[in-house]
């Protein structure tokens, strides 16, 4: 019985890691599309969002079936509940990556407002967060979950910097308004993406410790 449950936990973990990998691909490609003004790549990201949506539904089904079959308790139950809730956040994270790609499509039609410096750094930081989320779940690593929370603070700080920089452009030259507003939305999408990853890390923390993040 225990062995069957363990196998089910591994399978669900595997599917979840696949979903994290898909969102990571979307995030990396959305950032690349933005920086390079690559409309084709942006389209690819938008299409991938459907894959992520399908993975969410499939994982939900598997988790519900597993709970019904094994009636897990304690940390096993917390694991399934964690995944059930985390996929919703992950799906939302994928949506935000798709939003970045949609805005990258808009921005690709004209020359850039300026060379993007901070935005790709935010993108890289999000990839690090996704790597840590995957590590936390795959290796049941509390340290990795904590690092996700720390990294999200960096994202929030960078978002603040970006907002200020973009406001400067808008104040200086009203012609930049439309592009700056689009970039502001991109920054906002990144920031929200980070928040959803933070939610996942908090759930993982609860799964591994049985306690809420203080």
Partner 1 sequence: MRDVWDAAFEGVLLHREGRIEALNAAAARLLGVEPERVVGLPLIHALRDRRLLRLSEAGGEAVLEVRGRRVRARAVPGALFLIEAPEDAEREALERLRHELRTPVAAIRGLLEVLPGLEPQEAAEVLAVLRAESERLARLVEEGVYAPAVPPYALDALRPRIERVLPEAKNLRWAVPGVRLRVDPDALFQILLNLIENAYRHGRPPVRLVGGVKGERFFLEVQDRGPKIDDYEALFAPGARGAQSARARGSGLGLAIVRRIARSFGGDAYGRRVGDANAFGVWLPPELWLRG
Task: Please state the closest distance from residue 195 (CB atom) to partner 1, in A.
Answer: 17
CB-wise, 7 or 71, nearer to partner 1? 7
| Tokens coding 89 | 């956040």
Contacting positions for partner 1 (CB under 8 A) = 10-11, 13-14, 17-18, 20-22, 24-25, 28, 114, 124, 127-128, 131, 134-135, 138-141, 150, 153-154, 157-158, 160-161, 164-165, 167-168, 171-172
- Find, among 172, 159, 156, the residue nearest to 114 by Cα: 172
Residues ≥6 apart with Cβ < 8 Å to 12: 59, 62, 63, 66, 79, 80, 83
CB-wise, 71 or 168, nearer to partner 1? 168
CB-wise, 17 or 213, nearer to partner 1? 17
DSSP, collapsed to helix, strand or coil, labels residue 108 as: coil
Task: Please state the closest distance from residue 171 (CB atom) to partner 1, in A.
Answer: 6
Q: Alpha-carbon distance 139 to 193, whole Å?
A: 23
CB-wise, 71 or 150, nearer to partner 1? 150
Secondary structure percentages of the chain, helix, strand, coil, to 5: 90, 0, 10
Q: What does the CA dihedral 201, 117, 189, 164 come to, rounded to 10 degrees?
A: 110
Task: Please state the closest distance from residue 107 (CB atom) to partner 1, in A.
Answer: 18
CB-wise, 28 or 81, nearer to partner 1? 28
CB-wise, 49 or 109, nearer to partner 1? 49
Task: Please state the closest distance from residue 21 (CB atom) to partner 1, in A.
Answer: 5
Q: What is the C-alpha R_g of the chain? A: 19
Q: Alpha-carbon distance 80 to 84, whole Å?
A: 6
Q: How far, in Å, are 18, 55, 100 from residue 64 at the CA level?
A: 18, 14, 32
Task: Please state the closest distance from residue 168 (CB atom) to partner 1, in A.
Answer: 5
DSSP, collapsed to helix, strand or coil, labels residue 173 as: coil
Task: Please state the closest distance from residue 31 (CB atom) to partner 1, in A.
Answer: 11
């Amino acid at each position: 019985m225990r062995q069957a449950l363990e196998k089910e936990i591994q399978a669900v973990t595997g599917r979840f890691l696949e979903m994290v990998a898909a969102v990571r691909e979307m995030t990396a490609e959305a950032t690349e599309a933005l920086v390079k003004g690559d409309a084709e790549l942006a389209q690819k990201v938008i299409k991938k969002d459907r894959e992520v949506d399908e993975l969410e539904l499939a994982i939900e089904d598997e988790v519900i079936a597993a709970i019904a079959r094994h009636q897990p308790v304690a940390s096993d139950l917390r694991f399934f509940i964690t995944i059930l809730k985390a996929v919703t956040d992950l799906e939302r994270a994928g949506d935000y990556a798709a939003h970045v790609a949609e805005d990258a499509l808009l921005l690709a039609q004209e020359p850039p407002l300026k060379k993007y410096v901070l935005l790709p750094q935010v993108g890289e930081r999000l990839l690090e967060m996704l790597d840590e989320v995957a590590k936390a779940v795959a290796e049941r690593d509390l340290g990795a979950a904590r690092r996700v929370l720390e990294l999200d603070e960096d994202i929030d700080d960078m978002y603040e910097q970006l907002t200020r920089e973009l406001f400067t452009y808008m104040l200086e030259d009203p012609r930049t308004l439309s592009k700056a507003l689009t970039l502001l939305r991109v920054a906002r999408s990144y920031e929200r993406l980070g928040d959803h990853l933070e939610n996942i890390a908090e759930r993982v923390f609860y799964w591994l410790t049985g306690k809420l993040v203080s």
